Amino acid sequence: MTQLGSNTDQHLATISEKSAHNYAPLPVVIATGEGCWVTDVDGKKYLDILSAYSAVNFGHQNPVIAEAFINQVRTLTLTSRAFNNDQFGPFCDLITSIFGYDMVLPMNTGAEAVETALKTARKWGYDVKGIAPNQAEIICCTGNFHGRTITVISFSDDPCNKPFGPMTPGFKIVQYGDPDALEKAITPNTVGFLVEPIQGEGGIIIPPDGYLTKVREICTKHNILMMADEIQSGLGRTGKLLACDHENVKPDVLILGKALGGGVMPVSAVLANKEIMGVFNPGDHGSTFGGNPLACAVAQTALNLLVDDKLPERALEVGTPFIEKLKTIKSPLVKEVRGRGLLIGIELVPEAGGAKQFCKKLMNEGILCKESHDHVIRIAPPLVITTEDLDWAFPRIEKVLTEGH
């Protein structure tokens, strides 16, 4: 192997040759992280304002989470659900009491939790609602992102999912943000409506005010389950514990993931009340790693930090003025700045040629972020970010968006 080039170049060459090209990452190779800052293999520092799509809400190497993780690693890590472990009960108790549901079903990744919610709705439809076998229908939204499994991509309208058919039947897609479209699509076989309160991957799309309230009313009226995917929008990101809290709406089925794992491991969960979650019997569903003691210890620590450190309030306090500041950027490239708390999108005009090149320019300025959809620069830093860090970032973002214009 050649010894020429930077450490970064050597890593990039290996990664490009030896790993599947299912991602097109920015050409940075991170070696260490602390708080909102990361350092690459050549010693260059960057401000991380993506936070692994909200999975690193507590910051890199959060000392409280790291300690809980290390203690549990040295105690007990995995038993499978063939046995119980002493972290599982306390985890179930904490998460159900924080979010106000009777029961929880723990999984690992977000997509698994979404699959779990879909299974919950179908079984509820057959056992409780009395729908004929194999007839259950679930309604989803345009522009949705709920993960990458075959069933989950079966109700995606993103063209990238086309080459993976045949798709799982039983799903309908209606316009996001339009409650009438939802109501029109409901049939006697409908069991549930799956919705992101704010679409993250879809381009930081905030539905019209009152949308979630109307969705809640329609779901109740037609006796179908409102299932909220809060994997990205939940756990403080938008300035409330859940994005649904902005309208005081309580979904029947709540899906959590990403930040629940404290940035150290995949932990996801589905919450619902007994009439709904009670449909599961032994053998119906499971996961070797779901509910493992390490995950439960980390998730309890993450949830306690979220509440004790008032991170939702923080997200609102530092996020709201930052959104206002971003709106002052005068550039013909910017179509709209929108956001809630620390989930922020800068939508560029199509003539700007796509958000990705601007993320590359930001990288050269020492800021790491990622486009969401083609034309939106997503800003979603760890919730522990300080106003000083954001003040450092602002002129750099402004420069990249105004340079040459």
Ligand X SMILES: *Cc1c(COP(=O)(O)O)cnc(C)c1O
Min dist CB 173 to ligand X, Å, is 16
Q: Name beta bridge partners: 194.
A: 227
Rule CB under 6 A: choose which of 88, 145, 193, 322 binds ligand X: 145
The stretch near ligand X (CB under 6 A) out of 108-116, 163-171, 361-369, 374-382 is 108-116
Q: Which is nearer to ligand X, 110 or 319 (CB)?
A: 110
> What would the two tokens of residue 203 be?
């381009």
Query: Residue 194 CB, nearest distance to ligand X (Å)?
Result: 10
Q: Shortest approach of ligand X to residue 296 CB, angstroms?
A: 17
Q: Judging by beta carbons within 10 Å of its beta carbon (0-12, 13-18, 19+), is residue 251 exposed, middle or buried?
A: buried
Tokens 């069991």 locate to 191
Site string for ligand X, 253-272 (x = CB under 6 A): ----xx--------------
- What is the x/- site pattern for ligand X, positions 294-333, by CB under 6 A? ----------------------------------------
31 touches 55 (CB < 8 A): no
Q: What distance in Å separates the CA atoms of residue 323 and residue 380, rounded to the nearest whole number?
A: 11
In angstroms, rounded to a whole number, what is the distance separating the alpha carbons of residues 389 and 47?
8
Q: How far apart are the first and last CA of the chain?
A: 44
What's the CA gap between 104 and 108, in Å, rounded? 13
Catalytic residue, candidates 40, 229, 252, 389: 229
Nearer of residues 229 and 252 to ligand X, judged by Cβ: 229
Interface pick for ligand X out of 49, 114, 305, 337 (rule CB under 6 A): 114
Nearer to ligand X, 37 or 116 (CB): 116
Question: In the window 202-231, what residues touch ligand X (CB under 6 A)?
Answer: 229, 231
* Residue among 58, 69, 91, 145 flagged as catalytic: 145
Per the annotation, the verdict on 374 as an active-site residue is no
Site for ligand X in 330-359 (CB under 6 A): none
Instruction: Respond yes or no: is residue 330 known to be catalytic.
Output: no
Residue 107 or 401: the one with the smaller Cβ distance to ligand X is 107
From CA 361, how far away is CA 64, in angstroms rounded?
A: 34
**Closest distance between ligand X and the C-beta of residue 201, in Å?**
6
Buried b (16+ CB within 10 A) or exposed e, 358-377: bbebbbeeebbbbbbbebbb
Residues 24-53 that bind ligand X (CB under 6 A): 53
Distances 343 to 35, 54, 93, 346, 380 between C-alpha atoms, Å: 18, 9, 29, 10, 5
Q: Which residues contact 104 (CB under 8 A, 6 or more apart)?
A: 91, 92, 95, 96, 269, 270, 271, 277
Tell me which residues in 167-196 interact with ligand X (CB under 6 A). Answer: 196
Catalytic residue among 240, 258, 322, 358: 258
Neighbour order of strands in the sheet with 37-40: 30-34, 37-40, 45-48, 367-368
Q: Is 289 one of the catalytic residues?
A: no
* Nearest residue to ligand X, by Cβ distance, number only: 110
Select from 60, 122, 123, 146 the one that contacts ligand X (CB under 6 A): 146
Tell me the closest approach of the beta carbon of residue 359 to ligand X, in angstroms.
18
Instruction: Examine residue 109 and tell whether it contacts ligand X (CB under 6 A).
Output: yes
Q: Nearer to ligand X by C-beta: 146 or 375?
A: 146
Q: Is 293 in the site for ligand X (CB under 6 A)?
A: no
Contact call for residue 232 and ligand X (CB under 6 A) = yes
CB under 6 A: which stretch of 21-29, 143-151, 175-183, 287-295 binds ligand X?
143-151
Nearest distance from C-beta of residue 113 to ligand X, angstroms: 8
110 counts as binding ligand X under rule CB under 6 A: yes
- Point out which span in 141-149, 181-189, 273-281, 359-367 binds ligand X (CB under 6 A): 141-149
One residue of 35, 147, 251, 339 binding ligand X per CB under 6 A: 147
- Phi and psi, residue 260, nearest 5°: -60, -25
Residues that bind ligand X (CB under 6 A): 53, 109-111, 114, 145-147, 196, 200-201, 229, 231-232, 257-258
What amino acid positions are annotated as catalytic residues?
Answer: 145, 229, 258
